[in-house]
Amino acid sequence: MTLRLRQALVLVAAVLAVWLTVSLGRWQLHRAEEKLARQAAVAERDALPALDNAALHCEAQADAPLVNRRVVLNGQWLPQHTWLLDNRAMDGRAGFYVITAMQLKGPGPCAAQVLLVQRGWVPRNAQDRAQAPPFLTPAGPVQLVGRLLPELSRSYSLGADLALPSASSPRIVQNIDIAALPALVGRAVAPTVVLQLLPEASQAGQTFPDASGFPLRRDWPAPASDVGKHHAYAVQWFALAALITGLYVWFQLLSPLRRRTR
C-alpha cells in the first residue's frame, strides 16, 4: 500500500467517524428538544378545562389537539379485562403497569365502547414472576381523573406479545395490540387511551378506602424528566468527534510537518 493511498484511507475513515459522531450528537439534541416540546404541550393543555365523557373522540385515534388533555370520566371498571404490562420499572424497581378496561356511562361517542386505562404501577413478585400482585379495583360506578395518551406504554419485545399461562385475569403481557382486543373483550375498544393521575372516586366524590393489596403508584415520569441524559450523551458524542479531529490533525498533519522541518 502506497503512502498516498494510506493517507487517503485514514482521511476517509476520520471524516466518516466525525460525521457519525456529530450526527449521533445532533440526534440526542433533537430527542431532548422533542421531549421538552412534549412537556410544554402537557403543561399548556393542563391549564385547559377537563374533558368529560361527551367530549371524547372514539371514532379514530385521539386527535392531536386532544392528546395530553385532562379528562374527568364516569364509568365502571371491567376487572375481568385487566392486563399487566411486563418489564416496566419505577424508581429502579421491576414491576408492571396495570391496564384495565372501563365501560363509560352516559351519552357520548364512546358510550358503546370500552376504554383502556393505564391505571398505575405495581411491583413484581421476586419469587414468582407469573404471580400478579394484588391491588384494588373498585366495583360499581367510579369517577376517573386522567390524561389522554396517543397510545399505551410500549416496550421492546421479541416475537409475538403472548400472555404468560394464567387461569384468570390479570394477564401478564409485554405489550397490548388494541386492534386485536375486540375479539378478546367481546365489544368495540376505543383507540383513545387514558393515563390515570389520581385514585378513582365514587360518584359522590369520595375516594375508596384502602383494601388488602398493593396501592397503585402513579408517579408517572414527565416527558422531559430524562432530558439531561440526552444532553450528556450529546456532549460525549461531540467530544469524541473533537478528539478524532484532533488526533487526525496531530498525527496526519502536524507531526509529519514537524519531522520535515527538523
Is residue 206 in a domain?
no
DSSP 8-state secondary structure symbol assigned to residue 201: B
Is residue 201 classed exposed, middle or buried when 0-12, 13-18 and 19+ CB atoms within 10 A define those classes? middle
Prediction pTM value:
0.77
* Shared domain check, 38 and 77: no
Q: Which of these, 86, 169, 178, lies nearest to 135 by C-alpha position?
A: 169
Cell numbers of 261, please? 522541518
* Shared domain check, 156 and 67: yes
* Shared domain check, 86 and 54: yes
Phi-psi bin for 4: left (phi > 0), alpha (psi -120 to 50), beta?
alpha
Q: Which of these, 138, 144, 119, 121, lies nearest to 208 by C-alpha position?
A: 138
Is residue 220 in a domain?
no
Residues 118 and 194 sit within 8 Å (Cβ to Cβ)? yes
Is residue 257 in a domain?
yes
Tell me the sheet residues that pair with 148: 194
* Shared domain check, 128 and 81: yes
Q: Which of these, 1, 28, 15, lies nearest to 245 by C-alpha position?
A: 15
Per-residue pLDDT of the chain in tens (262 residues, 90 and over written 9)? 788 888 889 999 999 999 999 999 999 999 999 999 888 888 888 888 999 888 887 765 555 668 889 999 999 999 999 999 998 989 888 899 999 999 988 777 777 788 999 999 999 887 777 777 888 888 889 999 999 988 888 776 655 454 444 445 688 888 988 888 888 888 888 888 999 999 988 876 677 766 556 789 999 988 777 899 999 999 999 999 999 999 999 998 888 877 777 6
Instruction: Print the domain residue range for 257.
Output: 3-43+226-261
* Shared domain check, 37 and 138: no
For residue 194, give the 3-state DSSP assignment.
Answer: strand
- The count of domains in the chain is 2
* Shared domain check, 92 and 58: yes
Is residue 24 in a domain?
yes
* Shared domain check, 80 and 162: yes
* Shared domain check, 186 and 73: yes
- Measured CA to CA, the distance from residue 117 to residue 140 in angstroms comes to 16
Residue recorded with cell 399548556: 44
Is residue 211 in a domain?
no
DSSP 8-state secondary structure symbol assigned to residue 51: B
Cell numbers of 77, please? 371498571
pLDDT of residue 63: 55
* Shared domain check, 257 and 130: no
Is residue 33 in a domain?
yes
CA R_g for the chain? 26
DSSP 8-state secondary structure symbol assigned to residue 252: I
- For residue 13, CA distances in Å to 35, 111, 251, 254 come to 33, 61, 14, 18
Other CB atoms within 10 Å distance of the CB of residue 134: 11
